[in-house]
A and B are shown apart, each in its own frame.
Chain A
């Protein structure tokens, strides 16, 4: 079952042609990894999937991205609804400078859940699902900026899943973290795939092999090769993929 279908997708930043004719299907409740060297367009594609690129001046797109067979760029689509259904976790942990509780409740409140008991329930469940409840349950009133970087990133994941999205986009979620926090987040990502479709952008090829079922390799704005992660890392079809994963460039 394909949750997302990307069709004939092109993206320009002013005159720069950043993504060229991307075609790709993303399977539901699986983890897909985007790999490739810096500037290859993988983050640009990721940010197009929940239309964060709308905020970038000079960014133009052509083609379609279908979420459950509905183009997210259609005129009658509410961009805020798209971002509720497709959540995002950023490279640098970016909790709001407010309490842990208010951070997690921000998304639900945005989407008009005001009932206190209901919010309490969502906050607890999200923090449990993000495997951070035991560490913060006594400090829900504490400012979210006062916990460690790894905990902040798991809070951001909790904040994201509190909206009950269908898809979670992760833009190098571990690149600012130490190895122990990275392990925790990878374990978490594994657990989350039961409930969410996950796309993760990563520079770290070991990470891609550890967490993802499918992998797409990007180079200069094109997808060179995509398919099952095991196959791509063991017997890549394209010479360039092989060069990249064996560390000859990038």
Chain B
């Protein structure tokens, strides 16, 4: 009987894994199958025209949006996480409020952020459709992700390590930067990678803030479109569906490269002095 049960469970586990991998490979395979044949040099021309539907301006805009957002939001998010776990007293009312807010914010659909960004940054602050409005909206959107993952990574660090460091006469700052941070780094990094994915894949929140201009953004106050928005617009117009898939291929590659780069950087920053 037990044998039969374990057989069934093993079967179910394997089938689930198979379905997951199957779906993933099918999606990636289909994008490559549709996209790769449509990759033409003209898709990477410097300027977008209605005939070449170049994605080059979008690539630049995407990278600018991702990096600016991360530069703005990573320190704020990570330090907030540090405050909540390492500095704030447990049971502090203020901390509870921050926690409830971040949890609520992380569950809100992105179109709500888009609407807020449009009404507040675009109209109220009169930024119009611009990179800065996109960056700020994307920042608010991923901030809870980074705070939560930092918090969880810090909670997972064994208190005995903090004790050991304090016991050796190290202060709070040294303990955090030399002992806690290196251990928590992979967890914090996974939050940052999730954020990158969320920004790169975002359309709803960006259409109404960053806009859909086809030119390359040439400053904080100029509009543009990211690759995901480009895909959305192209497939919506219905004339360039294959080019839309080609854009998807490039999007996949960019995500791969950024993730690899972040892992490499964090290894350089922390593990370098460890192993």
Q: List the interface of chain A (C-beta within 8 A of B).
A: 50, 52, 55, 57, 80-84, 87-88, 90, 92, 94-99, 102, 106-107, 110-111, 141, 143, 156, 159-160, 163
A141 to B274, CA, bound (A): 8
Given A98-B274, A99-B275, A102-B273, decide whether A90 and B167 contact each other with a Cβ distance below 8 A: yes
Determine whether the beta carbon of A80 is less than 8 Å from that of B163: no
Specify which of A80, A98, A111 is in contact with B273 (CB 8 Å cutoff).
A98
Q: Find chain A residues with CB under 8 A from B164 CB.
A: 90, 94-96, 156, 159
Q: Is residue B124 within 8 Å, beta carbon to beta carbon, of the partner chain?
A: no
Establish whether residues A97 and B168, one from each chain, have CB atoms under 8 Å apart when the complex forms: no
A82 to B170, CA, bound (A): 11
Interface size bracket, B side: 20 to 34
Contact check, A160 vs B163: say whether CB atoms are below 8 A apart: no
21 contacts between A and B (CB under 8 A): A52-B166, A55-B163, A80-B169, A80-B170, A80-B171, A83-B168, A84-B168, A87-B167, A90-B163, A90-B167, A92-B160, A96-B164, A98-B182, A98-B273, A99-B274, A106-B165, A106-B170, A107-B168, A110-B168, A111-B169, A141-B275
Residue of B nearest to A111 (CB): B169
Q: Kindly list chain B residues whose C-beta atoms are within 8 Å of the C-beta of A83.
A: 166-169
Chain B contacts for A107, CB-based, 8 A: 168-169
When C-beta atoms are compared, the residue in chain A nearest to B89 turns out to be: A57
Chain B 159-214 residues near chain A, CB threshold 8 A: 160-161, 163-171, 174, 178-179, 182-183
Partner of A94, one of B161, B273, B275: B161
Q: Which residue of A lies closest to B175 (CB)?
A: A110
Q: Footprint of A on B, CB under 8 Å?
A: 89-90, 158, 160-161, 163-171, 174, 178-179, 182-183, 273-275
User: How many Å from the CB of B185 to the closest CB on chain A?
Assistant: 11
The answer to whether A110 touches B174 (Cβ under 8 A) is yes
Residues in A neighbouring B179, C-beta threshold 8 A = 96
- Nearest Cβ in chain B — how far from A168, in angstroms? 11
Chain A residues with CB below 8 A from B158, complex form? 94
- Residues of A with C-beta under 8 A to B171: 80
Give bound CA distance, A102 to B274, whole Å: 8
Shortest distance from the beta carbon of A156 to any chain B beta carbon, whole Å: 7
Measured in the bound complex, the distance between the Cα atoms of B166 and A160 in whole Å is: 12
| Contact flag A143-B275 (CB < 8 Å), given A50-B167, A80-B170, A106-B178 | yes
Which residue of A is nearest B178, CB measured? Answer: A106
* Residues in B neighbouring A98, C-beta threshold 8 A: 182, 273-274
Question: Judging by beta carbons under 8 Å apart, are A87 and B89 in contact?
Answer: no
Question: How far is B182's CA from A119's CA once the two chains are assembled, in angstroms?
Answer: 22
Cα–Cα, bound, A34→B158 (Å): 27
Contacting residues, chain B, for A106 (C-beta < 8 A): 165, 168, 170, 178
B157 and chain A: residue at smallest CB distance = A97
Q: How distant is the Cα of A52 from the Cα of B162 in the complex, in angstroms?
A: 11
| A108 and chain B: residue at smallest CB distance | B168
Q: Which residue of B lies closest to A110 (CB)?
A: B170
- In whole angstroms, what is the CA distance A88 to B275 when docked? 25
Contacts of B274 in A (CB 8 A): 97-99, 102, 143
Taking the nearest CB of chain A, how far is it from the CB of B54, in angstroms? 48
Task: Compute how far the CA of A50 lies from the CA of B163 in the bound complex, rounded to whole angstroms.
Answer: 12
The interface residues of chain A lying within 8 Å CB-to-CB of B160 are 90, 92, 94
**Neighbouring B residues of A52 by C-beta, 8 Å:** 163, 166-167
Does the CB pair A94–B169 fall under 8 Å?
no
